[in-house]
Structure 1
Amino acid sequence: MSKKNLIQVFEYQKLRFDSSENDFTESHFNAMVKFNEKNDNKYYTIIHKGIKFNNYVGVIQIGGLTLEILPKADKEKHDIERQKKTWQNVLLNMLKVCNHIKVDNISETALKKRYNSILEVYFEMYLNEIEGLINSGLIKKYRRVQNNQLALKGKLVFTKNIQKNTVHKERFYCEHQVFDNNHLLHQILYKGLVILDGFIAPNLRDKLNRVLYHFSDFKKVTINATHFFKIVPNRKTEPYSKAIDIAKMIILNYSPNLNAGNDNMLTLLFDMNKLWEEYVYKILQKNKPIGFSVSPQNSTKFWERKRIKPDIVIKNSFGKTIIIDTKWKIINTYKPSDDDLKQMFAYNLFWNAEKSMLLYPKVNQDDSVFGNYHHIPTEKEVNQCKIGFIEITNEKGLRKNRDIATDIFEKLEIV
């Protein structure tokens, strides 16, 4: 994939097809409109002759054009290419931490490699996984087949035998077992490879062709979500799990023929609010101090059938509880919304927490102090909430996950 065929934008940025600054065409626009309509218009907003992106980040590949939507939690407007590289690394790191990119597939060194797009990371992982399976030997499994044959082998299927062999009495329509490689696991992997063939970058083309060679005799079948539920995890299928996970991502996010032309689309999009929440939970869980517990999305009854669930509940060995609610947006210090403050107040009450914190990405804001709610339940001494801001990057680029987690715990003032 050449740089010419890659367009990188930031969340909430606009992209128009009448601009001479990029290769985004009206055909690409029409394909994206149809895709968004099929998904309840949740991924971006359609504007005059263009798209306005929202809180979904990731990659959209339409034929030979790749759009990469990056998160951005600062207001820097100089050295845009460096900014794009930094925030691409931020997104890759969050995906890695949240296991959307498997930890042992992509090392810290590999994350520093300059990928043209995030999809290339997945494509390379997929090919590496399948190469490993080929080198170990593709497993064989028993499968049932039905066909017409000249000898009675297996079980005769009476109804179909009557339908097909009324004239040809010398034939038998039978069902029998075959022990070979042409089973569901490999059919899924093959389908993923076939889709990749239309999207792969030149630097991975040779590897794809080498892998495809080993699947040349496999049956092409239509794969949908139900096929993945048919896979029974066991000792033999366990080595396939990572490759199947990526194949599932590729196949289920593939949209063929959205236009009359050849605008097949492959998408990999993440809600940045959910990704931020999951990322913060994962790094806190991994780097928590001794005597602390970190739990994600505890849920309890709120009103009638409605429930409430804070993003993260932290407890220490002294019985103290604190709530964190993550927000991926830029706000000014001391200006949280009334709804957010009311939400944190309810969390404090239902989880018997003395303190809670709204956690935002830091631009140039300073943390607030723990502010007091004026209603204090009788069993508690205080009922407080603060606004916290955390730096994700520094002058060197990406901050270490451990340092970010340490900063967050320090902000809670219960370490």
Structure 2
Amino acid sequence: MTKVENKHITVYEHQKLLVGKDLSQDQYEALLRFYGNYSPFFTLIRNGVKFCSYVGVLQVGNTLIEILPKADISSGNGQETLWQKVLIQMLRTVWGFSVRDAGSSHLKIKHHSVLDLYFELYVFELEKLIHYGLIKKYRREERNTVALKGKLAFTKHIQNNLVHQERFYIQTFNYTLHHLLHQVLYTALKVVQNLNRNTLLHARIGNLLLHFPEQKPIKVTPSTFERLPQDRKSLLYRPALEIAELLLLNYHPDISQGHKHVLALMFDMNALWEQFVLRLLQRNLKSYTVSGQVNKKFWKSTTGSLSSSLRPDILIHGRSSTVVLDTKWKYLNGEGPSADDLRQMYVYQEYFQANTAALIYPGTDRKLSGAYFQKEENKHLDTKECHILQISVEENTFLWQKKIVAAVEELFQNNQN
């Protein structure tokens, strides 16, 4: 765990930050003010907080708390750069727009955190929109005027102009840059300007504010993004809007004191690992059908409406065989998988009629083959197998991705032979 001038704090998942040692009293109280006694990101301990399986960044005022993944906690400190790259690459892979754009030569800034990455991605997307040209949309406007230009809003005209008969309450449609799409993007840009601490981005943000048409400030909620148009003209806006949604819906301005704003970009590491492996396999195993979270009914109460389903992380279908995979973000440390994990895989194989199965863990490169005992004799091994794939995290993240794909592909090919 490291700390730099109490402004940028780096900690790993499941580790602690203590008041007086890692956090000031103000920072601790700011976290409590926005998350109360419960947060999915951390739990309260005596004089501090302990982080859970969520990773990402929490920015509290001018202090950035970066929570990094770490499968092998025994490897010691001093590996912040490695795990930073791991987290950023996993997010790039899971989010399609990040995969294309984060590898672009346009992105030159060294990312000291996930927040830096998303801020620069957002700035880059807005620069691209301005380069191609911002779209205009028809916007309905109503106003009281002395000239009848447009459609007369008769009811409001009577209400407002019963005395002033020289006026007309009209309704017009203007083809303008001032519409909901740009209001959302402009609001997110102001948040980025307020929270950005990377000096290399200051000039680019200022240049965007000069060229982007100033918009009326709006309060953004999840329903705001549901109302955004999904048409061909706004297709180019989608990457910028996705980042804007992530930023705006996780931003908590400090209304009372005005200087302890909180932005939380946090990701469940178990879900991220699952989606990371799924996206890698879908993009690389073109000869197979790779599906995620396939749902199958498992149990239902006969006296009520309660029910339960089975949803393995990944199913791979070939011409003559099926493989079921489950991902676990934990380090086995030389031990075998838990009995619960193995029982879960056995049920998956039975219900989805899979030929073989595998549990995928991060860790030291190792493949452990295994099979279940036959149900009848309980002495000999059955043909139904469940393998353990441990794949070490590489500093070269592209090599790491290739190793994951190759391990699963080898498993599938051996099963077909």
TM, length-normalised to structure 2: 0.88
Corresponding residue for 1:405?
405
Paired AA for residue 346 in structure 2:
F
The whole-number CA distance in structure 2 between the counterparts of 1:313 and 1:205 is 46
Corresponding residue for 2:153?
157
Among candidates 310, 313, 317, match of residue 311 of structure 1 = 313
Determine if contact 2:392/2:400 at 8 Å carries over to the other structure.
Answer: no
The whole-number CA distance in structure 2 between the counterparts of 1:374 and 1:51 is 48
Q: Alpha-carbon deviations, 1:291-341, whole Å to 9, x = none?
A: x33221211110123211100112333x22221110111224453222212
Query: Closer, same or farther in 2 for the Cα pair 1:111/1:55, shift >3 Å?
Result: farther
Q: Alpha-carbon deviations, 1:22-62, whole Å to 9, x = none?
A: 5x322222222233349x52121111221111111111112
Query: Closer, same or farther in 2 for the Cα pair 1:333/1:347, shift >3 Å?
Result: farther
Corresponding residue for 2:183?
187
Determine if contact 1:95/1:101 at 8 Å carries over to the other structure.
Answer: no
Corresponding residue for 2:43?
45
Determine if contact 1:310/1:323 at 8 Å carries over to the other structure.
Answer: yes
Q: Alpha-carbon deviations, 1:69-110, whole Å to 9, x = none?
A: 1101123454x33x1000000011111111165222111778
Determine if contact 1:60/1:265 at 8 Å carries over to the other structure.
Answer: yes
For residues 366-385 of structure 1, the aligned pairs below 5 Å read 366-375=366-375, 382-385=383-386
Query: Closer, same or farther in 2 for the Cα pair 1:109/1:405, shift >3 Å?
Result: farther
Determine if contact 1:56/1:271 at 8 Å carries over to the other structure.
Answer: yes
Corresponding residue for 1:33?
32
The whole-number CA distance in structure 1 between the counterparts of 2:19 and 2:354 is 51
Among candidates 68, 75, 80, match of residue 73 of structure 2 = 75
Determine if contact 1:34/1:258 at 8 Å carries over to the other structure.
Answer: no
Corresponding residue for 1:146?
142
The whole-number CA distance in structure 2 between the counterparts of 1:356 and 1:231 is 42
Corresponding residue for 1:57?
55
**Gaps spanning 5+ residues in structure 1: where?**
none
Paired AA for residue 177 in structure 2:
N
Q: Alpha-carbon deviations, 1:175-202, whole Å to 9, x = none?
A: 2111111111111111111111210122
Paired AA for residue 185 in structure 1:
L
| Structure 1 position 111, deviation (Å) | 8.4
The whole-number CA distance in structure 2 between the counterparts of 1:208 and 1:9 is 29
Q: Alpha-carbon deviations, 1:153-185, whole Å to 9, x = none?
A: 323334433443344333222221111111111
The whole-number CA distance in structure 1 between the counterparts of 2:348 and 2:165 is 76
| More moved, 383-392 vs 346-355 | 383-392
Paired AA for residue 382 in structure 1:
T
Q: Secondary structure at the match of 2:383?
A: coil
Paired AA for residue 111 in structure 2:
Y
Corresponding residue for 1:330?
331
| Structure 1 position 244, deviation (Å) | 1.3
Q: Secondary structure at the match of 2:263?
A: strand
Paired AA for residue 15 in structure 2:
Q
Paired AA for residue 74 in structure 1:
D
Paired AA for residue 147 in structure 1:
R
Determine if contact 1:344/1:385 at 8 Å carries over to the other structure.
Answer: yes
Q: Secondary structure at the match of 1:359?
A: strand
The whole-number CA distance in structure 2 between the counterparts of 1:277 and 1:237 is 31
| Paired residue total | 402
Q: Secondary structure at the match of 1:404?
A: helix
Corresponding residue for 1:105?
101
Paired AA for residue 33 in structure 2:
K
For residues 197-212 of structure 1, the aligned pairs below 5 Å read 197-201=193-197, 202-212=199-209
| Structure 1 position 279, deviation (Å) | 0.8
Corresponding residue for 1:177?
173
1:269 is aligned to 2:266: yes
Determine if contact 2:89/2:397 at 8 Å carries over to the other structure.
Answer: no
Q: Secondary structure at the match of 1:198?
A: helix
| Structure 1 position 233, deviation (Å) | 2.2
Q: Secondary structure at the match of 2:410?
A: helix
For residues 279-294 of structure 1, the aligned pairs below 5 Å read 279-288=276-285, 290=287, 292-294=288-290
For residues 321-360 of structure 1, the aligned pairs below 5 Å read 321-360=322-361
| More moved, 158-167 vs 3-12 | 158-167
Q: Alpha-carbon deviations, 1:242-285, whole Å to 9, x = none?
A: 11111111111111117645211111111110110111112122
Corresponding residue for 1:134?
130
Paired AA for residue 375 in structure 1:
K
Corresponding residue for 1:224?
221
The whole-number CA distance in structure 1 between the counterparts of 2:255 and 2:389 is 44
Determine if contact 1:89/1:111 at 8 Å carries over to the other structure.
Answer: no
The whole-number CA distance in structure 1 between the counterparts of 2:29 and 2:273 is 31
The whole-number CA distance in structure 2 between the counterparts of 1:247 and 1:398 is 28
Q: Secondary structure at the match of 2:181?
A: helix
The whole-number CA distance in structure 1 between the counterparts of 2:32 and 2:289 is 45
Determine if contact 2:57/2:264 at 8 Å carries over to the other structure.
Answer: yes
What RMSD over aligned residues (CA atoms) do the two structures have, in Å? 2.7
TM, length-normalised to structure 1: 0.88
**Gaps spanning 5+ residues in structure 2: where?**
301-306
| More moved, 110-119 vs 255-264 | 110-119
Paired AA for residue 120 in structure 1:
D
